[in-house]
Amino acid sequence: MRAVCVIGLGLIGGSVLRAASAAGRQVWGTAGSVADAQAALAEEFTVVDVDSAIRRAAREDALVVVAVPLPAVDAVLRKVGDLAPTCLLTDVVSVKGPVADAVTRYAPTTRFAGGHPMAGKSASGWAAGESTLFTNAAWVVTADEETTVEAWREAAQLALDCGAGVVPTTTHEHDAAVARISHLPHVLAAVLAACGADGGPLAMALAAGSFGDGTRVSGSRPELVRAMCEGNRAALLDAVDDALGRLGAARGALASTGALGATINAGHAGRSAFDEQRAAGRAQVVVDLTGADPLEELRLVGAQGGRVVRFDGDLAVATTPVLTG
């Protein structure tokens, strides 16, 4: 099994280190935070300085996993480009466009496929991590025009070893999708929380289920939410414009006829699509990685809401939801 070098040992990186180790891989890491480094060392993981970690990855042809916050990605990739210019490379950052751009700029000859495990929790740091964090989670591995099958498969195998299902899609499609299902929810929750609190203690005394659910993510650390949303600026702008258009239409309907049917029915249909896809039966799809354009076939699996669940020799075995809508 290929060794894994994890750069950044916070919640996600620390969980990848643990999960890859539990899967039987040789692992080592490096952490910008002294506390995270010491905590990982205390659990008998190998933690070294960043230059040593990357040099060792180059020597042993390990998979390098960039697990630092977006603002620190450029500096890390400069080092990777210098010290391990042809290494296998992936990342676990929540937006994929800026990371892909930075790879092109600073580490263009690495064998790279971007990654994003859709798992998390409100706590952060090594101490919050766990080897089972990714169990049954979706883990995007980007398959762009310039991605090689080798790089995609290596990143995907890590995700599978961590217990996740692999969703293949492009960098652009990933960022557009997470803008809608992860970043827009944070923006709308913030708007709702502020509107509700403006109602004062009376409104807060009456608030219960719907307000509590709708604002839950606003309890997350603001600096992490900002970094996540601001890092996906272009795609989030599109999603916010969509929301503004829909909210404006609701406003217009309420003001003119007083009828909110179009808004409420569209929302119910959207939520039903989400529930139905989760409950749907699954069909099996097999992609031959030695075929003519396996990454295009894999992207189609992702577009259908599917995920790769294992490799069988050179075959990628995927399941896709059977949707009736």
Residues 32-61 binding a copy of itself (CB under 8 A) are none
Residues 76-105 that bind a copy of itself (CB under 8 A): none
Residues 129-158 that bind a copy of itself (CB under 8 A): 137-138, 140
CB of 71 to a copy of itself, least distance (A): 13
Question: From CA 131, how far away is CA 11, in angstroms rounded?
Answer: 10
Based on the shown chain and the rule CB under 8 A, indicate whether residue 237 belongs to the binding site for a copy of itself: yes
Interface residue with a copy of itself among 71, 108, 270, 291 (CB under 8 A) is: 270
Question: From CA 139, how far away is CA 114, in angstroms rounded?
Answer: 10
Interface residue with a copy of itself among 196, 282, 285, 315 (CB under 8 A) is: 196
Question: From CA 94, how far away is CA 57, in angstroms rounded?
Answer: 23
CB of 11 to a copy of itself, least distance (A): 14
Stretch that binds a copy of itself, among 12-20, 37-45, 52-60, 213-221 (CB under 8 A): 213-221
Based on the shown chain and the rule CB under 8 A, indicate whether residue 250 belongs to the binding site for a copy of itself: yes
Of residues 210 and 290, the one with the C-beta less far from a copy of itself: 210
Of residues 258 and 313, the one with the C-beta less far from a copy of itself: 258
Question: From CA 70, how far away is CA 227, in angstroms rounded?
Answer: 8
Stretch that binds a copy of itself, among 13-21, 113-121, 144-152, 308-316 (CB under 8 A): 113-121
Query: With 0-12 CB in 10 A as exposed, 13-18 as middle and 19+ as buried, what is 237?
Result: exposed
Angle 171-178/294-303 helices, nearest 10 degrees? 10
Based on the shown chain and the rule CB under 8 A, indicate whether residue 236 belongs to the binding site for a copy of itself: yes
Question: From CA 235, how far away is CA 39, in angstroms rounded?
Answer: 37
Based on the shown chain and the rule CB under 8 A, indicate whether residue 123 belongs to the binding site for a copy of itself: no
Of residues 147 and 182, the one with the C-beta less far from a copy of itself: 182
Question: From CA 266, how far away is CA 53, in angstroms rounded?
Answer: 51
Of residues 42 and 203, the one with the C-beta less far from a copy of itself: 203
Question: From CA 286, how far away is CA 319, in angstroms rounded?
Answer: 8
Stretch that binds a copy of itself, among 97-105, 148-156, 227-235, 286-294 (CB under 8 A): 227-235
20 vs 151, 196, 283, 286, CA distance in Å? 17, 44, 28, 25
Q: Are 30 and 53 in contact (CB under 8 A)?
A: yes
Residues 292-321 that bind a copy of itself (CB under 8 A): 302-307, 321
Based on the shown chain and the rule CB under 8 A, indicate whether residue 275 belongs to the binding site for a copy of itself: yes
Question: From CA 267, how far away is CA 214, in angstroms rounded?
Answer: 14
Of residues 3 and 253, the one with the C-beta less far from a copy of itself: 253
Interface residue with a copy of itself among 23, 217, 285, 315 (CB under 8 A) is: 217
Helix (H, G, I), strand (E, B) or coil at 94: coil
Of residues 109 and 284, the one with the C-beta less far from a copy of itself: 284
Interface residue with a copy of itself among 42, 75, 123, 195 (CB under 8 A) is: 195
Question: From CA 33, how far away is CA 266, in angstroms rounded?
Answer: 46
DSSP H/E element including 184: helix 184-197
Interface residue with a copy of itself among 259, 283, 286, 317 (CB under 8 A) is: 259
Binding residue count for a copy of itself, defined by CB under 8 A: 101
23 vs 18, 56, 64, 132, 163, CA distance in Å? 9, 20, 17, 11, 9
Interface residue with a copy of itself among 24, 59, 145, 201 (CB under 8 A) is: 201
Interface residue with a copy of itself among 120, 129, 163, 294 (CB under 8 A) is: 120
Give the tokens for residue 148. 């090689």
Q: Are 295 and 152 in contact (CB under 8 A)?
A: yes
